[in-house]
Amino acid sequence: MASKLNMVSAINSALGSEMERDRRIVILGEDVGREGGVFRVTDGLQARFGAVRVVDTPLAESAIMGVSLGLAAAGMIPVPEIQFEGFLHLALDQISNQIGRLRTRSRGRWGLSMVLRVPWGGGIHAPELHSESPETLLVHAPGLIVVTPSNPYDAKGLLISALRLGEPVVFCEPKRIYRAVKAEVPEGDYTVPIGRAAVAAEGKDLTIVAWGAMVREALKAAEELETEGFSVEVVDLRTLSPMDSATVVESVRKTGRLVVAHEAPRTLGLGAELAARVAEEALTSLLAPIERVTGFDTVMPLAQLEEHYLPGHRRIMAGARKALAA
């Protein structure tokens, strides 16, 4: 059985079915229980599993992550939520210095099973610090797995994989596509592999790499470039760390041209790492300089200028045309 679900419902469905299966899973965070989360992602779960397993915590991001480390080290599977990515920074010591490093620091004695869920990125006209894409901070921290889905099917399958992985996973949820599309999502459980990119569209003239909400923009750009006579391949990275650059390199060997598109600022955005890896492994296959279509190295603006900051399909097309002209 499958039904048409948006990403919010797909994530809710994954949490519900895994909580049925595994009593070690507990959800904790601000407003996740009675309110069902500010985006309603955990809606109904407290009624279903009780206030002991779906816990409204005091307002303290560092505490939410710090106690999650303790819960996980003692054998629970915490699913903490940080309400918006802008508030991750309050918990960076716990996430990066503590959670990411415990396996190493205990010489393998404690790996942590947990999934930190956090809404990600711009495009919903939200207030300040509710629209950023700080994935570089997480990918730069050794020991963390970082995942971001681009559609409801992957959201459920990746989250189930994350809950069973036995690693600390940060699950970045692109909030602007939370409810934007519905897709067929199986009612039962299934997994989508972590650490593997997906080819979202096949092509032979140019590769566009994107993740999260930017995959839709990349696919739209590919479709329009098709009408201009170009065949474009779109790679959805899906897991940001560890990064599946092999799939990207393989695609570039075929197309010879690469555009990387992301919302995060350009400098040290993941586009930089992808460009470096492609240069290391497939430099001789490149027919044009690599193009990065990204957010700017500025503060993410408030709603009125937001659409200028976010690279939409038109900017991706401009980058693609430049690569195709070379």
Partner 1 sequence: MAKGMYFERFDPTKGESLQILDPEGRLNEDLRPDLPGQRILELYERMSVMRLADQTALNLQREGRMGTYAPFYGQEASQASAAFLGPSDWLVPTYRETGALFLRGVPLQSLLRYWMGDERGMRVPEGMRVLPIQIVIGSQTLHAVGLAWAMMLQGEKSAAVAYFGDGASSQGDVHEAMNFAGVLKTPVVFVCQNNQFAISMPRSGQTAAATIAQRASSYGFPGLLIDGNDLLAVAGAMNEALAAARSGGGPRLIEMLTYRIGPHTTSDDPSKYRTAAEVDVQKPFDPLLRLRRYLGAKGLWNDGAEAAILAKARAEISAAVAAAEAMPPAPVSDMFDYTYRVLPPYLERQKSEYASFLKDEASRGGRHGF
Residues that bind partner 1 (CB under 8 A): 30-31, 34-36, 38, 56, 58-60, 62-63, 86-87, 89-90, 125-130, 266-267, 296-299, 301-306, 308-309, 314-315, 318
Looking at 89, 125, 130, 140, which residue is catalytic? 130
Of residues 46 and 245, the one with the C-beta less far from partner 1: 46
Of residues 1 and 325, the one with the C-beta less far from partner 1: 325
Give the span between the Cα atoms of 46 and 50, in whole angstroms.
5
Task: Compute the least distance from the CB of residue 244 to partner 1, in Å.
Answer: 28
Task: Compute the least distance from the CB of residue 59 to partner 1, in Å.
Answer: 4
Compute how many other C-beta atoms are within 10 angstroms of the C-beta atom of residue 142. 11
Give the span between the Cα atoms of 88 and 76, in whole angstroms.
22
Give the span between the Cα atoms of 136 and 146, in whole angstroms.
10
The β-bridge partners of 147 are 171, 239
Tokens 């459980």 locate to 189
Q: What are phi and psi of 315, to 5 degrees?
A: -70, -35
Of residues 39 and 153, the one with the C-beta less far from partner 1: 39
The candidate with the shortest Cα–Cα distance to 173, out of 212, 124, 127, 219, is: 212
Residue type, 168: P
Alpha carbon distance, N-terminus to C-terminus of the chain:
48
Of residues 105 and 308, the one with the C-beta less far from partner 1: 308
Task: Compute the least distance from the CB of residue 321 to partner 1, in Å.
Answer: 10
Task: Compute the least distance from the CB of residue 57 to partner 1, in Å.
Answer: 8
Catalytic site includes residue 130: yes
Residues with active-site annotation:
130
